[in-house]
Structure 1
Amino acid sequence: MTDTQDTTKNGLKEGDTAPDFKMEASRGRTVSLAELKGKPFVLYFYPKADTPGCTKEACGFSEALGQFEGAGLTVIGVSRDPVKALDKFAEKYDLTFPLASDEAGSVTEAYGVWVEKSLYGKTYMGIDRTTFLIGADGKIARIWKKVKVPGHVEAVLDAAKAL
Structure 2
Amino acid sequence: MSVPIEDVLITKAVAKIVLKEARDQPLAIANVFSKLSDLGVNILMISQGNLRRGRADIGFVVNESQVFKILQVEEELKQLVDAKELVVDRKVALITFFGGKNIDKAHGVVAKIMDAFATVGVRTEMMAISGDAFSVIIREEMYDRAIEAIREELELEIE
Whether TM exceeds 0.5 here: the answer is: no
- Normalised by the size of structure 2, how large is the TM-score? 0.27
Q: Which has more strand, going by share of residues?
A: 2
Rg (Cα) greater in structure: 2
TM-score, length-normalised on structure 1? 0.26
Structure with greater helix percent: 2
